[in-house]
Amino acid sequence: MKYFLLVLISVATSIMSYAQDVRVREEAVRLLERGNAATTPVKLPDLERVDRFRSIQSSGSGSTVNEGTFTRVVIQGTGRRDEIVFGDYHQVDVIVNGGLSRMQTQGVAPAEVATLLKITPLYHISFNGEDVIHDIVNHEVNGRAARCIEFETIVGEKNRTNEVCLDAATGAIVLEQVNEEHIEYSDFFEFAGAQIPARIEYSSTAAASMEIQQSMTVLTETIPDVLVAPPGAQPWVNCRSFRRAFGQSMPQPTPGNGGTHVDVVVRGVISADGRIHDAVVQSSERPDLNAEALETIHKWIFTPPMCNNQPTSAGASFTLHFQGR
């Protein structure tokens, strides 16, 4: 009987902590939908987009700065060319008539490149059942009035206090503080019926900081050979049928006796042999655990991905849980 009463108390406490005003949530969803619409182009022309970015990795001995560029040329109805240069990494994708040719210097892009492609031209988010809306308040962001939605994301044992702010006049998303990532968008310009940020500042507790300068221009002249695949490019096979890899052995790091739980996210390629190759750390709150995370991930075994009934390779992300570390 006493056990039953304790369960009731626990459930009641949980319900109270998750409670939210449905009218506040309704307004928050409306504001975010307006923000996503304001920053999504209506009809894109032929265009050239250029992102110049700086990655800043801080450590006890100082900061390491690396620079890179991302360019995208789009010929509507014909094809697209993407090119990324970041340190020793170089990738070119040419997409014509639905076919893709790729040249890259390594199998998995650096973490900074993955972050760049995620948050540009602007990272659109939406609320789901894990998000509890607390309030909508007035703030200033970059000297302009903004409406800020304060919410909490509850996933398992982790509660994240988050915020997204929208420009009070234009409705554009100007700040996202979500799951330990802080993104500020500023210096907006209008392109194809949308508000596009020319400047993006990114910081995270688990990854390098970044500064991005972004531009988009309408193409009025033909760029010679822009859709010709570069030397060494490999055609990507169109998978008429695809079967993803399934884990067979995926050991997690050895638990410790501490009171904290840390996740390290790793990206890599599951190859035809069922092993993970070219693994890199995507995000980590504890860099001292990165080497152990990579060592552990190379022990994982999968069934191979299958393309047209033949073993192939496929990129994926993996989360290593360090319990009590």
For 133-144, what is the mean pLDDT? Answer: 96
Percent helix, percent strand, percent coil in the chain, to nearest 5: 15, 50, 35
Whether pLDDT at 260 is above 90: no
CB 91 within 8 A of CB 262: no
Q: Does the 237-323 domain belong in CATH 3.20.20.60?
A: no
Structure tokens at 104: 């890259």
Q: Quick one: fold of 38-234?
A: outer membrane lipoprotein receptor (LolB), chain A (2.50.20)
Cα separation, 120 vs 118, whole angstroms:
6
Domain extent listing, the chain:
38-234, 237-323
User: Alpha-carbon distance 234 to 256, whole Å?
Assistant: 45
Share of the chain above pLDDT 90, in %: 78
The pLDDT of 277-294, averaged and rounded, is 94
pLDDT grade, residue 18 (50/70/90)? low
What local confidence, expressed as pLDDT, does residue 19 receive?
A: 63
- Taking only the tens place, the pLDDT of each residue in 41-52 is 999 999 999 999
pLDDT (tens digit, 9 = 90+) per residue, 64-113?
A: 999 999 999 999 999 999 999 999 999 999 999 878 999 999 989 999 99
Q: What is the mean pLDDT of the chain?
A: 90
CA distances from 243 to 148, 247, 308 (A): 42, 13, 9
- Rounded Cα–Cα distance for residues 314 and 90 (Å): 19
Mean pLDDT of the 277-295 span: 94
pLDDT single digits (tens) 195-222: 999 999 999 988 899 999 999 999 999 8
Q: What pLDDT is recorded for position 1?
A: 35
Residue 7 has pLDDT above 90, yes or no: no
d(CA 272, CA 274): 5
The C-alpha atoms of residue 268 and residue 275 are separated, in whole angstroms, by 10
List Cβ neighbours of 159 (8 Å cut-off, separation of 6 or more): 152, 153
CA distances to 71, 166, 295, 318 from 244, in Å? 31, 38, 23, 14
Give me the pLDDT at residue 159, please. 85
| pTM, full prediction | 0.83
Rounded to whole angstroms, how far apart are CA atoms 147 and 169?
10
Same fold, 38-234 and 237-323: no
